[in-house]
Amino acid sequence: MRAKLIAGNWKMHLTLAGATALVEEFLGSYRPKPDVDVVVCPGFVALSKVRSLIKDTPLKLGGQDVFWEEEGAFTGKVSPAMLADVGADYCIVGHSEARGRFGGGQVDPNLLPFFVETHESLHQKIEALLYRAITPILCIGETLAERDAGRADAVVEQQIRGTLQGLEPSALFGVVLAYEPVWAIGTGKVCEAEEAGRMCGIVRETLRDLSDDDVATTARILYGGSLKPDNAYAVFQQPDVDGGLVGGASLNAASFAQIVHAA
Q: Which residues are catalytic?
A: 95, 180
In 3-state terms, the chain is what percent helix, strand and coil (to 5)? 45, 15, 40
Report yes or no: 232 and 258 within 8 Å, Cβ to Cβ. Answer: yes
CA distance 206 to 153: 10
Report yes or no: 137 and 90 within 8 Å, Cβ to Cβ. Answer: yes
> 24 Cβ partners below 8 Å, 6+ apart?
53
Residue type at 187 in one-letter notation: T
Report yes or no: 161 and 206 within 8 Å, Cβ to Cβ. Answer: yes
Say whether 246 sits in a helix, a strand or coil: strand
